[in-house]
Amino acid sequence: MALVLDLEYSQSNDAKTLTITDVAETYIDPDNLTGWGPLTNDETDIVISTDVINAGTEYHLLLDTTVTDKNNVTTVYDQINLYDQNGGGFANTTELTWDLTAADFVESGVAMGEATDKLTDGIYEFTYQLVDNDSHVTVQATFSEDVLVDGDVRIDIYNKLRQIPVDYDYEAVDTSRAVMEALLGYSYLQAMEASSAVAMTEELINMLYTLDKLVSDGSHYTW
């Protein structure tokens, strides 16, 4: 059997980090015949980007990223060598996880932002590959997936939700519009995230743009 790559993703609550984790796990016969191991490809054979010898027995682990933001602007970022990103080799599969910030996504020397900046909201198209380390022509395994990153706008929506009990306490002031706007934004956020499992990139970008406008400008409802 051949190695079958797979990834899981997690956004931090401050929208500054996207954690990517390889979940192919370790080869176990007969329970996981497509995981990492000597009979497929061993994670301990992944080497630093400057190591380009011993092709066929040593590999590079790479991540390509293309981001389409809420304005439908697409940016192709430089390839990330995940051994270099890890700062060393992989002793076992539990080390195949990376915390990526805006500083890690670089296009021609220009980063998306500082490590302390929020990640750009949008559709992140990832291609995750294990390739021979000599020229990257021989691909041992590859995995591609589109991921919705919406941490920035999600923070704005949750801040509005947290304001509801405060607004409610001001009984002498009509805060109904603020409450309804917060609930509308939250409902729209849930609808967008519920759609993210479907291959509908253009629709999600439109929804992300609309949600951003709801947060910044409010809706046109009179409530």
For residue range 149-164, list pLDDT tens digits in order.
999 999 999 999 998 8
Contact 182, 160 (CB under 8 A): yes
Average confidence (pLDDT) over 157-179: 81
Q: What is the pLDDT of residues 63-94, one digit of tens each?
A: 999 999 999 999 999 999 999 999 999 999 99
CB 14 within 8 A of CB 99: no
Does residue 123 surpass a pLDDT of 90? Answer: yes
- The residue type of 69 is D
What is the bridge-based pairing of β-strands 139-149 and 74-81? Answer: unpaired
Residue 198, pLDDT > 60, answer no
Res. 169: pLDDT tops 60: yes
pLDDT band for position 171 (50/70/90)?
low
Q: What is the pLDDT of residue 116?
A: 98
The sign of the CA dihedral 8, 12, 13, 14 is: negative
Question: For residue 197, is pLDDT > 70?
Answer: no
Q: How remote is the C-alpha of 89 from its chain's centroid?
A: 23
Please name the residue that has the structure tokens 């995750």. Answer: 128
Domain boundary assignment for the chain: 7-149, 152-217
The average pLDDT across 19-33 equals 97
CB 45 within 8 A of CB 36: no
Residue 47, pLDDT > 60, answer yes
3-state DSSP assignment of residue 90:
coil
The pLDDT score that the predictor gives to residue 56 is 82
Average pLDDT over residues 177-189: 91
Predicted local confidence at residue 24, as pLDDT: 98
End-to-end CA distance of the chain: 60
**Can you give the pLDDT at residue 220?**
84
Q: How confident is the model at residue 199 (pLDDT cuts 50, 70, 90)?
A: low
The amino acid that residue 187 corresponds to is S
| Residue 190 burial (10 A CB sphere; 0-12, 13-18, 19+) | exposed
